[in-house]
Amino acid sequence: MADSKVWSPEFVQDLLPSAQRTALLYHLSYLCLGGFPKLEYMIRERALETQMLFGSSETVLLKCVCTSCNLVCSLFPMLRNAVQKNKPVLAVKYLEKARTWINDIIRAVDDMVKRYDQQNKSVASCTSDVIQEQKETEVKLTQHSEEMKSLEEAVAKLEEELRKTAQNVEEIEKKIDGINSELQDHIKELSRNNIGMSILAVLVPFIGPLIQSIYDTSPGVAAQTQYLNAELSRLTSEKSNLRNREWNIQVKLTDLQLKLAISKIQMGVIPSPVHLNDVQKCLSRIQKILVQLKMFWEKVGVALDTLKDKTFAGDALIEELDDLKEEFLTSIKTAGMYWKTFGECCQRAQGIFSIQNKDAYQFLEINPSSLSEDERMEHYECIMEKLKNINPQGSTTATITE
């Protein structure tokens, strides 16, 4: 198990809200800044780059789906067969094959992390260029209308509320990390004296079945486990509520920023590129989760190496397989169920990236300068409705080791 965090099998679904939000924010930026040809060109270029990046992300997630399927449908049955027939050499061969699958994913995810970093810098450069253009047109604005002043005050108030909520989320995450660490140390200590749990910890990178194993096999120490798990659930629920609040504030803020942008456009002034700033936040969020995905697969690779070196290496252990057989076969069965869930979650995330890659950037086919005011408002309203309907909770809250 890991030394710091735990995740749920569904953690990859945290990618979904940011992926869905990115195209909508590009669309808003395109509508707000598209009346200025130079800026329209820059946004179009960044949006197309991101669309291609999402296409590559889809491919990486498909690799995760396929590897999870291979573990469930190929590796685990072969391991089961090797254990039943007391053939550790075959087991080693199968584990080495699985290692090549995982190394391939690690390389692919690492490449994606670097590409997201480059794209984020590209969007930041675009944002900087927009700000420079904005400064050159703001001289036209000699005085603010009362409506604009009111909007700016409301935006500032929501920005402060968003900042405080994000700070609260960060504090909760630190508490969750502390409980996670304590829970993992507790389970690690118990695993040392429980062969079945030790095998399960290697095959299943999800902490949920390990907790259940404690309840089933070690009732004497289950109280401490139950306390830590309950505290983790409470903090996770509190974090979820804060995330929902943060999301709702962000949607309201986006709406007000849009109204302020429209007011400036009507006065011939380039609005602030706030939606491009939000694109950067989404890309950073996706990049962060991909880093977690890479670490996850690295952990799985180490676990399989450990299984190969400590369980199936050496003549003495061939004789011990009879004693371990029942625990091993039970653990393989449990592992298959959890890996199946993980594969399904990766498949859902892959499907979202596929949709984003193929359909979400069709707005680039429209010339924003050709839109009437009514058509532009219709686009705005449609985008805001879609933003409101995105589920901010991309995953559920079982746990998975890092």
pLDDT in tens, 212-248: 777 666 666 677 778 888 888 888 889 888 888 888 8
Asked whether the beta carbons of 269 and 36 are under 8 A apart, the reply is: no
Model confidence at 254: pLDDT above 80 = yes
Cα dihedral across residues 334, 335, 340, 346: positive or negative: positive
Q: Which of 107-111, 207-211, 387-391 has the lowest mean pLDDT?
A: 207-211
Q: Which of 82-91, 159-168, 198-207 has the lowest mean pLDDT?
A: 198-207
* Residue 107 pLDDT level (bands cut at 50, 70, 90): very high
Asked whether the beta carbons of 207 and 1 are under 8 A apart, the reply is: yes
> Is 136 buried (19+), middle (13-18) or exposed (0-12) by CB count in 10 A?
exposed
What pLDDT shows up at residue 336? 85
Model confidence at 399: pLDDT above 50 = no
Domain boundaries defined on the chain: 11-389
Q: Among the CATH numbers 1.10.3470, 1.20.1170, 1.10.10, 2.40.128, which is that of 11-389?
A: 1.20.1170
Model confidence at 119: pLDDT above 80 = yes
Structure tokens that stand for 266 in this block:
């009507």
Rounded Cα distance, 342 and 68, in Å:
7
Structure tokens that stand for 258 in this block:
């849009």
Rounded Cα distance, 370 and 347, in Å:
39
* Residue 325 pLDDT level (bands cut at 50, 70, 90): confident
* Residue 330 pLDDT level (bands cut at 50, 70, 90): confident
The DSSP symbol for 401 reads B
Residue pointed to by tokens 């011939």: 268
What pLDDT shows up at residue 143? 53
